[in-house]
Amino acid sequence: MVTLMEHVLTGLALLAAWSAYVYFKPRKQCRKCSGWGSKQHRARKACGRCQGTGRTMRLSAVLVHHAAGIARAQVRKAIDKRREART
């Protein structure tokens, strides 16, 4: 019998796995130009969404990178507080 806690832990594990995937692979193929960098294969004008790169950021990647930056700042503050407390 599966308990509620097992469902919650499975959900958290999937969320952690997705966050790691998005952190290390933040870009995806542009949906507008299908990764070609322009709307037509041989067109000279660059795609307006990806500016001709053929790649765009995932929305969740922006959120994960923002959260990681906040976490790094908090860790730095905690380390600085410990150093000040020692002196």
Domain spans of the chain, in order of start: 25-86
Q: What's the DSSP call for residue 71?
A: H
pLDDT exceeds cutoff 70 at 18: yes
Q: Hey, what are 85's tokens?
A: 């407390």
The model scores a pTM over 0.75:
no
**Residues 6 or more apart from 28 whose CB is under 8 A from it?**
55, 56, 57, 58
Other Cβ atoms closer than 10 A to 5: 8
With a CB cutoff of 8 Å and minimum separation 6, the contacts of 31 are: 49, 56
Give the C-alpha separation, 76 to 74, whole Å.
5
Residue-wise pLDDT for 31-83, tens only, equals: 878 777 766 666 567 787 788 788 888 888 888 889 999 999 999 999 999 99
Q: Which of 13, 24, 15, 17 is nearest to 65 (CA)?
A: 24
